[in-house]
Amino acid sequence: MPLPASIQLRNGVALPTVGLGTFKASGQELVTAVQAALAVGIRHIDTAEIYKNQEQIMQGIRAAGVPRSE
C-alpha cells in the first residue's frame, strides 16, 4: 500500500507524511538541505525551538524562493 501524501489532522490541516528532519542539523549544510528539500516538493520541515537552528531553516526557505503559504 503506498504512503498517503498527507494525513488529515483533527483541525482540518493536511500534514504531509514526508518531511525534512532538522534535529542536530546546523550551518550551511542545513541551509542547503532545506533548499534541496523544497526544490523536490517537500513542504514539511521539522522544527523545534530546542533545536536552535531556526535561522538556518529561514535562510534555506528564503533562498529557495517558496512562498510561506506552501
- Check if 66 is active-site: no
Q: What is the Cα–Cα distance from 4 to 24, expressed in whole angstroms?
A: 27
Q: Which of 6, 25, 42, 51 is catalytic?
A: 51
Q: How far is CA 33 from CA 7, 12, 20, 36, 53, in A?
A: 24, 29, 8, 5, 13
**Active centre residues (catalytic):** 51
